[in-house]
A and B are shown apart, each in its own frame.
Chain A
Amino acid sequence: METQAISPEQAADALKQAAAAEKRSAQAYRYQRFAPYLFLWGVIWVIGCGATDLAPHWSGWIWLGLILGALAVSIAVGRGAEPSRSKSNWRIALSFTTIWAFIASTYAVMAPVSRMQQGAFPPLVVAFFYILLGLLWTGPRLIIAGLAVGVLTLGGFFYLPQHFLLWEGFVGGGALILAGMWFRRV
C-alpha cells in the first residue's frame, strides 16, 4: 500500500470532504429511487382528474382502476429490481398502499360532502407525506415537492373551484411529473 504522511489538520479537512461527498451521494441516491414513483403518480393524477372531469359519475371506478394499476406497477417494479434495490422498492410500494388505505379509511369515517373535498384530500395527504419524508429522511427536494403540491391544491380549491379538477390534474399532476424528472438529476 502506497502511503504518505499527513497532519491532524489535513486529516480533519479530508474527513470533512469525505463526509460531504458521502452525504451528497446518499441524498442523490434517495432522490433517484423516489423519482419513478413521483412520475407514476403524476401521470395517474393527470389521467384521473381529466377523466373525472369528463365523466364525474364514473369517478369512483376511474380512481379505483388507476390506483390499483399504479400499485400493480409499483409492485412489479419492486419484484423486477436488482436484489440490492428490491427491498426498498417494496417499502416504497407499501408506503403508497398505506397512504391510499388511510385516504379510503378517512372517507369511510368522515365522508366528504363535496366532490371538491373528495378531490382535494388525497393530494393534501400526499403533500403532507412528502414533506414529512423529506424532513425525516430524503432531503429538501421532497419537502419542496410536497409544498408545491400542497400549495397548488389549496390554491385551486379556494381560488379556482369551478375548474378545480382540471387544475389539480394538469398543475398538480404536472408538478409531480416535473418533480420526478428533477429527482433523477444529481
Chain B
Amino acid sequence: MVFRGAQEELSQFRLGLMQGLSIFLGYLPAAVAFGVLGASTGFSHFQVAAMSIWVYAGASQFMALNLYQSGVSAPEIILATFVLNLRHVLMSTVLSKRIQGNRALRCLLSYGITDETFVLTTISSSMGPGSEEAGREITAARFAGVAIIAYSGWVIGSILGTVFADILPQLAMKSMGISLYAMFIALLIPSMKKSGRVAVVALLGAAINWMLLSELKLSAGWSVVTATIVASACGGAFCYKGGDQ
C-alpha cells in the first residue's frame, strides 16, 4: 500500500515535470534576457543570480533593474514590487483550496506560484494527457514537478544570461517568445470546448484586459488582475449549484 502510494506520487511528480517543461521553455529566453540586462546594469553575476533565486518574479525583476538604474531608492522599489505581486494572493487562495497535502508542504510549494504555474496546474488535469476528468484536486507532487522545472528555467536562464550574453541565437530568443502563449492557448482550447461558460469567462477576461490597457492605460500587472477579478466574478454569478464544473 505504502509502495503503491509512493509510485503514485512519483508518477504525479513526473507528470508535473512534463507539463512544466512548457513553462521552462518559456522562462528560459526571458531569464536570459534578464541576466544580460542585469549584468549591464551593474549588478554582479552573483547578484543577478541571487535575485532570480530569491525574488523569482519576472516582471518585478525587470522593473527593479529599471528603477534601480534610474536612481529610485530601495524602499520604493520594494513597495512597487509588493504591489505588483499582490495578485498572487488571489492565485494562492485558489490553490490553497485545491492542493492536497499538509500545511508545511503547501507553504513550501507556494514559493513556486507564478501566473504560469497557477494557470497550468489549475486548468490541466492531474490524470495525465488525454484525460477527460479535469479533477478539481491538484496533487502536491504534480504541483511540485511543475514548480521545480519552471523555477529551474528561470534560475538557469538568468545565470546563463549573465555569463553568455549570446547563449541563445537571436532567432531562437525571439521565436521562443511565443512559448508561454502557446502553452496558455493549449490550455484554453480544450477547456473552451468542454464548457461554454469557460469560453465566455476567458473571452471576457481578454476583452476587459484589452480595454483596460488601451483605454485606461493601466499597467499590465494591474490590468490583468482587474480583468481576472471582474471576469471571474461574472462567471461565478452565472454559475448555478451543480452546474458544469
> Are both chains from one complex?
no
Chain B contact residues, CB within 8 Å of chain A? none
Chain A contact residues, CB within 8 Å of chain B? none
